[in-house]
Amino acid sequence: MELSRGGSIATASVLKIGASDVSLFIGTGGPYASDSNADGSIDLATETNANAVGFAITDVDLALAILQDADATPGTPTTKYIGLRASGAQAGLVGTSDFGVDFGTGAITIELNIASGGGATAASEVVNFASLGDGDGLVVKTSTSTEQVLDFEERRIHVGANDVLVNLGGFAYLNGNLSFDLGSRTSVIVNSGIPSSVLSAIESSGLTLSEVAATINGFLQELEETDPRTLLRTKFVDAVELARTTLEEKLMSLSRQSRMN
């Protein structure tokens, strides 16, 4: 099993859990939504219970996979790799409007690809699901006739929701579409814009980077402590002259070295 940044696990055990068109209710007076006409689907406009009070999520499709190293020593902390793709038609509090509290969403999606336990951190590798199943991803059956594919390549935490409504007695109100994403930590190279020839000249001068930084910081500190309107032109002219003489000396040194060779 390949991991996200080149690591691997020789043998992995996997637990798959799939579900389709599931409704969940936690509260009193439930269920909140049910197929009252037995047509095989729930119509949220006509098949909900007005007496239900609690939290409900409807029409959930879920694919969950939990993997771990099958060769790990029994009884020792083992990292578990979790992949999840879930979606629902509606989620939120129901029957709470009389208490002045409303919270709900329309369509909601949740996607996870994380590592947990066994010393795992936010920087730990996760499963490269896209490399499984002959490169097509890991298939999770959600019913006898439906399935979902987990094909994440990197760490992923995603929550998206449409038509979000939060109303706390009129004190706090939020309405709109929301999305949250958290991916892998990535190292980047920032182009400073300093030519490589200048950096090479600094290196060959014998000055350390800390000495160069100290010189620059001293220059900036002097400008900060003195009126820059009177010193800026002088400092700029001095800097240009210093650069010119330094370059001339460098070229003369290189010329002497080439003649000696």
Angle at 20 between CA 53 and CA 174, to 5 degrees: 45
pLDDT band (50, 70, 90) for residue 201: low
pLDDT band (50, 70, 90) for residue 165: confident
Q: Tokens 């996200």 sit at which residue?
A: 4
The token pair that represents 258 in the structure block: 């080439």
pLDDT digits (tens, 9 = 90+) for 113-163: 999 988 788 888 999 999 998 888 999 999 999 999 999 999 999 999 998
Interacting residues of 247 by C-beta distance below 8 A, sequence separation 6+: none
Q: Map out the domains of the chain as residue ranges.
A: 12-183, 196-260
| Cβ atoms of 127 and 67 closer than 8 Å | yes
pLDDT band (50, 70, 90) for residue 192: low
Buried b (16+ CB within 10 A) or exposed e, 117-154: eeebeeebbbbbbbbbeeeebbbbebeeeeebebbbbb
pLDDT band (50, 70, 90) for residue 95: confident
Q: What is the DSSP letter of 8?
A: B
pLDDT at position 224 over 60? no
Instruction: Please tell me the predicted confidence (pLDDT) of residue 64.
Output: 96
pLDDT (mean) for 43-71: 88
The token pair that represents 139 in the structure block: 């298939």
pLDDT digits (tens, 9 = 90+) for 109-126: 999 999 998 878 888 899
Percent pLDDT > 70 in the chain is 71
pLDDT at position 226 over 80? no
Q: Tokens 């040194």 sit at which residue?
A: 253
Instruction: Please tell me the predicted confidence (pLDDT) of residue 158.
Output: 92
pLDDT at position 239 over 80? no
Chain mean pLDDT for the chain: 81
pLDDT (mean) for 165-193: 75
Instruction: Please tell me the predicted confidence (pLDDT) of residue 61.
Output: 93
Instruction: Please tell me the predicted confidence (pLDDT) of residue 122.
Output: 81
